[in-house]
Amino acid sequence: MKDKMLIILIALFILIPTVNAEQCNVVTGDGTKLGDEISCGTEHFYVLKNDGKRVKMLAKYNLYAGYILHEKGGYATTDDGYNELEEYDYATCWYESEAEDSLAKCIYAESITVDTMKQDSKAIGAYGEEKENPRYPQVGVTYLTDYADFKYNINNDLDLSTTKIYDYILGYEDTLKGFGIKPEKVAILTLDDLLYVLNTINGTNGSWEDLDFKSDWIEEWDYFYTLSMLNVIPKQYSWIYQTTYWLGTVNGTSLFFIDTLGDLCTTDACYDQVELGAGVRPVVTISTNDLFYEPPVEDKKDDDDKKDEPIENPETGVYTNLSFLPIGIVSGLGLIYTKKYRLFRKL
């Protein structure tokens, strides 16, 4: 009985670390560099920072939460559009042109109901090729009106508990815990996080004012509103703006966001771009102890193995260096045979 218990304990000792190690795995890179990809359960992330103790990661996609925005046109009047779409939480209608026979077009929101809060590859809040020609449906967006009464601290960090985002973040934290993962923090990207990323990319350690791309701001620094990140972020880091999502930083009464066109902007300056909302893209911090990385195995033979390999004489075709493998000679078949290398030659 004691022997059986000992075997069970040994098996548990072997298996438990394996299960924990598989909770968060390095997918690309080694998990230490900006942009390395990590998976936790079904969820995928990009490394923002790894200080040796903690890893801060940005979700690969927005959460499948909030609303799906649809476009529908062909209404004789905007009232016709509103009347048809009144069952939905939100609708906005306008005429497609100023021509007298112009038809009305509407955008309406379908509420998303989910049991488990997760990322979704469709939840990118994409605009399309240009702002004037957005692509629908837009999945996983939350309205600007959700932030009408938001609060923030002295550092201009958004108080998530005063926004709809808070419910989504709590739900996402529960999702990660369901995978056996205990995140130290779940939040959304801040302007300070983005500054760290830009400093890492540029090999600098400065403030916004110190960075060389200050001239790319459209407004003067004291009243900055928007930055085209296409000018300052190499294509290999385009995952930073592969979705449209809210930032957890406030500028007066305005909230920052990033869009799929590569713009960092505020709601005051770019209201038309984000009037219908942006997505929630979590930032998750975990302990490096919860991160499993298995270095790739190089497919090459050791020098000790190579020195024992049989060598063929190109003139005679006879293999030499076979004295270490006297496994057997099958003379009746006129063959030299080694079990390890399966080398054959007619005698």
For 189-213, how does the pLDDT look when each residue is reduced to its tens digit (9 = 90+)? 998 999 999 889 988 888 877 765 5
Lowest mean pLDDT among 120-134, 156-170, 295-309: 295-309
Give the integer Cα–Cα distance in Å for 79 and 87: 14
Would you place residue 149 in the very low, low, confident or very high pLDDT band (cuts 50, 70, 90)?
A: low
- Residues near 110 by Cβ (< 8 Å), separated by ≥ 6? 67, 68, 69, 70, 88
Residue 320, phi then psi, degrees to nearest 5: -110, 180
Residue 265 is predicted with a pLDDT of: 84
* Average pLDDT of the segment spanning 288-310: 67
Q: Is the pLDDT of residue 68 over 80?
A: yes
Would you place residue 274 in the very low, low, confident or very high pLDDT band (cuts 50, 70, 90)?
A: confident
Q: What percent of the chain has pLDDT over 70?
A: 67
Residue 260 is predicted with a pLDDT of: 86
Q: Is the pLDDT of residue 335 over 50?
A: no
Give the integer Cα–Cα distance in Å for 4 and 125: 57
Per the prediction, the chain carries an average pLDDT of 77
Cβ–Cβ < 8 Å for 182, 239: no
Q: Report pTM.
A: 0.75
Question: DSSP secondary-structure letter at 279?
Answer: B
Residue 323 is predicted with a pLDDT of: 44
Residue 31 is predicted with a pLDDT of: 94
Q: Is the pLDDT of residue 137 over 50?
A: yes
Q: Which long-range contacts (CB under 8 A, 24 or more apart) does 257-260 make?
A: 258/189, 258/194, 258/229, 259/125, 259/127, 260/124, 260/125, 260/126, 260/127
Question: DSSP secondary-structure letter at 47?
Answer: E
Q: Is the pLDDT of residue 347 over 60?
A: no
Lowest mean pLDDT among 36-40, 138-142, 285-289, 334-338: 334-338
Task: Give the 3-state secondary structure of residue 20.
Answer: helix
Task: Give the 3-state secondary structure of residue 60.
Answer: coil
Cα 233 from chain centre: 16
Cβ–Cβ < 8 Å for 12, 87: no
* Average pLDDT of the segment spanning 174-190: 93
Give the integer Cα–Cα distance in Å for 325 and 339: 8
Give the integer Cα–Cα distance in Å for 70 and 76: 18
Residue 1 is predicted with a pLDDT of: 57
Lowest mean pLDDT among 104-108, 213-217, 267-271: 213-217
Would you place residue 13 in the very low, low, confident or very high pLDDT band (cuts 50, 70, 90)?
A: very low
- Residues near 179 by Cβ (< 8 Å), separated by ≥ 6? 23, 40, 41, 42, 43
* Average pLDDT of the segment spanning 71-98: 92
Pick from 89, 138, 124: which is nearest to 109 by CA? Answer: 89
